[in-house]
Amino acid sequence: MSLKTPEQYEESLRKMNFKIYLLGELVKNPVDHPIIRPSMNSVKMTYALAQMPEYEDLMTVKSHLTGEKINRFGHLHQSTDDLVKKVKMQRLCGQQTASCFQRCVGMDAVNAMDSTTFEMDRKLGTKYHDRFIKFLKMMQAEDMTVDGAMTDPKGNRGLAPHQQPDPDMFVHVVEKNDKGIVIRGAKAHQTGAVNSHWVMVMPTIAMTKEDADYAVSFVCPADEKGVYYIYGRQSCDTRKLEGGTIDVGNSQFGGHEALMVFDNVFIPWENVMMCGEYEFSGMLVERFAGYHRQSYGGCKVGVGDVLIGAAALAADYNGAAKASHIKDKLIEMTHLNETLYSCGIACSSQGHKTASGTYLIDLLLANVCKQNVTRFPYEIARLAEDIAGGLMVTMASEKDFKNPEIGKVLEKYMQGNTDICSTEDRARILRLVENLTLGTAAVGYRTESMHGAGSPQAQRIMIARQGNLEQKKKLAKKIAMIDKK
């Protein structure tokens, strides 16, 4: 099997033995839990789209390892065309789910791991790359969803990992033997964790010699013994428990984050891909971050497309679509969204081949892309809220609309442009705007745009490194004829 059907994906999760805590309770059936289910549906859509002939070129590709047709989420980029199609695929998935579809992290992790382990082996004589390729072949053959795990809790941000009062603030090796290693610690903000088959763990920062025990990377099943999850809270998340569809805004799809805890987890050597090689931890972090910052030029744009469409419909339903300031705001939203997409395409088009043969994006442009993503979705969301109007956050509940006594009153006073929409249609679109800007989807759109793939300052540091100011100074000196002799 190289391509799972969406039904096979769902069934594969049912066979797993996750340990998940949500709202203070252990979840017995995560697949069907009303809070978790929409996020699973989002991942499921990546499998469904890969089955559709009209999206075959974007969603699938021939594996350069086996020659088999595989889902692009498990592919190593072999050209700049692959990098561009990745961004286009992510925009499509964002359009189809209006949420985080969660497979990008694993895709970005395997691409970073490929080139890093190759170059590490070449310099140090290690054998990590062969292990990685073996895992990747399994990932491709079984069409697995892999969660890339990088962000540690970090504790006191002013202290290095080895200086922390509690050593578990960063994932680290606590024991080594001839069979493998034992891991303890946690990974925070884990997107799609409980919808994944395996986990690929990476260091969160460039490590020093003193932090060698923290320079560790490995893969393990997502339901491995000793691994458990504490599901993250989202705004308006308990609306999903009420049984309706209007108040949720996007009742079909969603995203999630979780704290992933490693409680003395044993990892066999065959699944270890870095263990103490601290000098290569920075390369892995930088390349993963670059790929993931590229991703935001696709996924956030796709969700932005839905939000712009929802704002435009809200204007129609409010009877305000012809107002010049509404038209101008929609133009501005489109301009900002397409600028983000342009950055994603640009850093992809300017990518280059690494020593392993995998293509890496232009790191400077990828960081510029993500820096824009920390700003533009906030303005797009602000304009959407402006267009939608205050009813978006003061509207009565779905249960009130269905109440036999007051339902008719709400139908009367909540109506908009009755020539083109019912009161229910208007309520649904306003709740969708709310969901995308303030509700559960805002985690995967607005707030994730700020903090996902690193904080804004992380991108500015990389822009400073990659900006090559000295070369720019030379250009200026040449034109000004300074130091010319």
**Distance, CA of 187 to CA of 265 (rounded, Å):** 13
Tokens encoding 154: 């970090």
**Distance, CA of 301 to CA of 295 (rounded, Å):** 10
What single DSSP character describes residue 217? E
Q: What strand order describes the sheet that includes 227-231?
A: 25-26, 20-22, 227-231, 258-268, 180-187, 172-176
Instruction: Note if 335 is an active site residue.
Output: no
Instruction: Note if 191 is an active site residue.
Output: yes
Instruction: Note if 275 is an active site residue.
Output: no
* Identified catalytic residue from 46, 77, 100, 129: 100
Tokens encoding 21: 């805590």
Element (H, E) at 186: strand 180-187
* Identified catalytic residue from 277, 292, 358, 421: 292
**Distance, CA of 17 to CA of 35 (rounded, Å):** 18
**Distance, CA of 112 to CA of 286 (rounded, Å):** 9
147: Cβ–Cβ under 8 A, 6 or more apart, which residues? 102, 105, 106, 190, 191, 192, 193, 196, 198, 199, 200, 222, 260
Amino acid code (one letter) for 485: K
**Distance, CA of 277 to CA of 130 (rounded, Å):** 16
Spacing of C-alpha 305 from chain mean position = 17
**Distance, CA of 166 to CA of 307 (rounded, Å):** 43
* Identified catalytic residue from 257, 277, 385, 434: 257
Instruction: Note if 292 is an active site residue.
Output: yes
* Identified catalytic residue from 93, 104, 220, 369: 104
**Distance, CA of 329 to CA of 49 (rounded, Å):** 32
Rg value, the chain, Cα: 24
DSSP string, 113-127: HHHHHHHHHHHH---
* Identified catalytic residue from 46, 191, 374, 440: 191
Instruction: Note if 100 is an active site residue.
Output: yes
Number of H helices and E strands in the chain, helices first, is 18, 14
Instruction: Note if 447 is an active site residue.
Output: no
Amino acid code (one letter) for 326: I
Are 160 and 212 contacting, i.e. CB atoms less than 8 angstroms apart? no
Instruction: Note if 299 is an active site residue.
Output: yes
Phi, psi (degrees; rounded to nearest 5) at 479: -70, -35
Reduced to 3 states (helix: H, G, I; strand: E, B; else coil), residue 410 is helix
Query: What residues act catalytically?
Result: 100, 104, 191, 257, 292, 296, 299, 448
